[in-house]
Amino acid sequence: MKRERPNFIIVGSGISGPSLALFLKRAGYGVRLMESYSRPAEDIGGALQIAPNGMKVIRELGLTSEVSKIGTFSDEMIFRNHTGRVLAMIPNGSVSQFGESAIVVSRARFHLLLLEAAEKEGIPTEYGKKFSHAEFPLDGGVIAKFEDGSFVEGDFLIGADGNHSKVRSFLFPNFPKPEYTGILNAGGFVPAEVIPEKYSKRGPIHFTFGPEGFFGFAACGNTEDTSWMWWSNIPRDKEYTREEMNSLDDGAWKDKILEIHKGWHDPIEKIIRASSTILKGSVHDLRSLPEWGNDKVLLVGDAAHVMSPHTGQGASMALEDSHTLFSLLERSDSVQEAFRNFETIRRPRVERIIEESRRNGNRKKKLGPIACWIRDRILTLALPSFAKKGQDWMYNYEGIK
């Protein structure tokens, strides 16, 4: 689309929003970001892995050096059972095969990095703008309306507003909603001093399966920033209501996590005890949204495809979405054609990952001693080849040729 460069309103300034805005702005499209947070969020909590496929997009954005300053390159995954017995040690991708390393970063720092990059490029970003609905004037374009009564006009609207997307529920009120997967998520950060010498090598991500639940930890941050991230998955059949979740105070939540991981190998209990703030949440996914948009509106990132975090691919998929959509816009005769092709190209890949993540999550549910023994045997024997096969297709992102 070389001649006219339309204007895009992007609702949501998480990962897909600013990354798409950067691609579009640099290519001369009109773009503005509308975010519901009242300011750039420094407290969005937790950490995430950006996999080699996501890092490929980071390179396309010219941000590899900035991201490497805030993250720890991850070269290995070490799987244990709760007694500390190593079940498998697997390379976390390889630069020679995938062109990039995986990196572990704090979500908040990564998010701020993208926002700063958008600001440097002069991309208008408005905070405190909670999308409520859109109108489509007969003479063309789209008007996005916000809960504070304000509105903005553009040619097209992108819903990049995450797993509980309001753009999605406005556009498709009767479509399926994200579904609780039977797992609660907790997480936080601790200083490096908490991590014993035996585990202190930066690079591996440590994964531990127990009879009930799962624990992971890894170095996060560059060499001067010594924090370590951790997360815990706790099976629970029934989802907590918002009220129940809010009524769980920090102490009660920490006790619950300690109870699940009681007696697990060092330094798991130590890490939990040393954490001052512990995040809490429920894990959802949305296996298949029947449509991702129409001629005027397109959903990207978690708004289009919510995946549980058990493959560590949500952020990388959001980045891939931005890059793919931008590439399609550059190659298509119309925005509508690019929107349609986007869904056709992206859907099989993301839905495969959603299923893979579900399967991985189900391995974290409660098991009896015999089932644990069987799981450990299977993981020891099969994980190396499973993980390699998984990485072969997941970590490989070539973009649009």
Ligand X SMILES: Cc1cc2nc3c(=O)[nH]c(=O)nc-3n(C[C@H](O)[C@H](O)[C@H](O)COP(=O)(O)OP(=O)(O)OC[C@H]3O[C@@H](n4cnc5c(N)ncnc54)[C@H](O)[C@@H]3O)c2cc1C
Binding stretches for ligand X (CB under 6 A) = 11-17, 34-37, 46, 48-49, 129-131, 160-162, 166, 185, 281, 301-303, 309, 312-316, 318
CA 50 vs CA 2, 150, 320: distances in Å? 32, 35, 11
Q: Whole-number minimum distance, CB 35 to ligand X, in Å?
A: 5
The DSSP string of 26-40 is HTT-EEEEE-SSSS-
Residue with Cβ nearer ligand X (41 or 376): 41
Instruction: Using only the alpha carbons of the chain, give its radius of gyration.
Output: 21
Closest to ligand X by CB, 152 vs 268, is 152
Least CB distance from residue 318 to ligand X, whole Å? 4
Rounded to the nearest 5 degrees, what angle is found at the Cα of 114, between the Cα atoms of 216 and 25? Answer: 145
Q: Confirm if 199 and 80 have CB atoms less than 8 A apart.
A: no
Which residue lies nearer to ligand X by CB, 214 or 376? 214
The pairing of strands 214-219 and 204-209 is antiparallel
Shortest spacing between CB 82 and ligand X, in angstroms: 21
State the minimum distance, in angstroms, from the CB of residue 322 to ligand X: 9
Which whole-number Å values give the CA distances from 36 to 33, 132, 161, 193, 354, in the listed order?
10, 10, 9, 37, 26
Nearer to ligand X, 33 or 335 (CB): 33
**How does strand 279-285 pair with strand 297-299?**
unpaired
Residue placing its CB nearer to ligand X in the complex, 46 or 71: 46
For 208, the token pair is 């531990």
Minimum CB separation from ligand X for residue 371, in Å? 26
CB of 284 to ligand X, least distance (A): 8
CB of 89 to ligand X, least distance (A): 19
214: β partners: 209, 233
Which CB, 185 or 360, lies closer to ligand X? 185
Q: Which CB atom, from 114 or from 379, has the smaller least distance to ligand X?
A: 114
Shorter beta-carbon distance to ligand X: residue 169 or 380: 169
Sign of the CA dihedral running 352, 110, 325, 305:
positive
| Smallest separation (angstroms) from ligand X to the CB of 381 | 26
Residue 165 and residue 159 in contact, taking contact as beta carbons nearer than 8 Å: yes
- How far apart (Å, rounded) are the C-alpha atoms in residues 272 and 263? 12
Nearest distance, CB of residue 379 and ligand X, angstroms = 20
- CB-nearer residue toward ligand X: 82 or 284: 284
Work out the number of other CB atoms within 10 angstroms of the CB of residue 205. 23
Query: Which is nearest to 147 in space by CA: 34, 39, 242?
Result: 34
Nearest position to ligand X, beta carbon: 14
Q: Strand locations in 59-178, DSSP E?
A: 72-74, 76-81, 86-91, 102-106, 125-126, 131-135, 142-146, 151-154, 156-159
